Amino acid sequence: MRISDIKRQKRNQNRFSIYIDGKYAFSLDYDTLDGSHIHIGDTVSDDGKKVLIQKDEFSRVRDYAHTLLSYRDRTEYEIKTRLFDKGFHAGTIREVLEFLKSRNLIDDKSFAGKWVDNIFTSRPMGRMKVEHELKKRRINEDIIQEVCDKKLGQDTEYELARKAAEKKLNSLKSYPGEVARKRLFSFLRTRGFDFEIIRDLMKEYFSDVIE
């Protein structure tokens, strides 16, 4: 098979249509084309054609992953899911994930650490809730435990619970004491705080004991 023409695409200036024996065969992006060193008049085998197409897909998958990561950090599972949804081949996705991990562009431990750091300022929650949220993102359980052990000790969780409670109490000022107490208790449980921590806060705020 002989390459009869190579044309830049009008709608995407970074892609080139490759013609074999006068008919459109496939397309390559600029980097893949430049790295392949193919020219009009060259011959290409079926295997050679497959290799070029695979290299091109790697570039497309990698570039799409880079686009996703340009908006915000993402877990490996999230990137993988988005790539599968886009219709890319499983083998290429695996290669791109390894490529991204080797360059620390996706790092679930780093993601989990930043996610936990964010709750200190955005939405305080307890360790149980944190673990649940990170598991939903398919982060490895060993990573979750390591990050939580490092960042969410008992004293830290207590301060997070206090911060969440004081903000919630501002919205409960008009409620009778018993109603406010029950609502605060329910709120803190929903946020995943440890029962002992909640009980201590109830004693502090309401001079009451939760049995």
DSSP 67-127: HHHHHS---HHHHHHHHHHTT--HHHHHHHHHHHHHTTSS-HHHHHHHHHHHHTTS----H
Band of residue 152 on the pLDDT scale cut at 50, 70, 90? very high
pLDDT above 50 (res 209): no
pLDDT above 80 (res 211): no
pTM summary value? 0.77
DSSP three-state, residue 5:
strand
pLDDT above 80 (res 42): yes
| pLDDT given at position 210 | 46
Longest dimension (CA), the chain: 88
Q: Among 13-17, 83-87, 91-95, 114-118, which is the least confidently predicted range?
A: 13-17
State whether CATH 3.40.50.300 applies to domain 3-102.
Answer: no
List the domain boundaries for the chain. 3-102, 108-211
Dihedral Cα 67, 112, 132, 141, nearest 10 deg? 110
